[in-house]
Amino acid sequence: MIVHGTARVRVNDTIELRRENEALFIPQGAKRRVANAGNVPLELIEVQVGDYLGEDDIVRFEDVYGRA
């Protein structure tokens, strides 16, 4: 859910813009990337659902921030 700002969201090979009060569903296993597409800080709420909610199963395919 986008709380403030505009997000450029890539899910697999599709890129969409999401604005304040808009949400999107990202299916399990989809490659995704979120970036700030505007001039104001981007604020969002991420909600995970399922039997396992840990972050140790994240696979980084590309990381321009050097966290890999």
* Plot region of 53 (φ>0 → left; ψ -120 to 50 → alpha; else → beta): alpha
Cα gap 37→48, rounded to integer Å: 23
How many residues appear in the chain?
68
Report pTM: 0.77
Q: What is the tens place of the pLDDT at every residue in 6-61?
A: 999 999 999 999 999 999 998 888 888 999 999 999 999 988 888 877 777 777 77
> Taking the domains of the chain in order of start, what are their residue ranges?
1-68
- pLDDT surpassing 90 at residue 68: no
Cα gap 22→38, rounded to integer Å: 15
For residue 8, CA distances in Å to 49, 53, 55, 57, 66 come to 22, 24, 22, 24, 21
